[in-house]
Structure formats: structure tokens, C-alpha cells
Structure 1
Amino acid sequence: MTESEEPDRAAVPLYACSFCGRAREKCEMLWERVHSAICDQCTEKAA
């Protein structure tokens, strides 16, 4: 398979945390569930 056939698996999305501003790797399912750009550490603090 080429990269163009599976771009989602080839590239890991990075999101900048709204609170600390650091770019973190996020699972797409987790991202859709929380509906906000929050890294794991800030998510634990907010919970």
C-alpha cells in the first residue's frame, strides 16, 4: 500500500493544547469526544 491510500495511518495528527500550548498527539476518537484541544495532562487536571 502507498501512503496516499492510508494517509490517516501514515500521519499522526498534532494538536496544540488550549491551556499549556504544547503540541500533543491525540487519538481522533478522543479528540471528537472532548471537542477541544487539551493535552492529556491538562485533561487530567480539568477532570
Structure 2
Amino acid sequence: MNFLKAKDYEKHAKVQDFMGLKLCEILKDLKISHFEKVFEFGCG
């Protein structure tokens, strides 16, 4: 059971990272750079 939970957590973390990257792209497209600093998404 722990193995499955670890796998689910790993998948969730990847989804979170992906959503963060997408949000960064949207914010950059909108030229809202100060939001990147406020939420600290780590947009490169």
C-alpha cells in the first residue's frame, strides 16, 4: 500500500509542477511578471 501511495504522490507532484509551469507561461504571456515573484513559481 505504501508503494501505491508513493506512486500517487509522485504523480501528483508532477501534475503540480506541470500546472505551475503552465501558469508561469500564462502569466508571462500576460506580462504580469510581478505575480511570478509574489507566488514564487520559480519561472525561469
Alignment TM-score, normalising by the size of structure 1: 0.25
**1 or 2, which has the higher strand percentage?**
1
Alignment TM-score, normalising by the size of structure 2: 0.26
Kindly name which structure, 1 or 2, has the bigger radius of gyration based on alpha carbons.
2
**1 or 2, which has the higher helix percentage?**
2
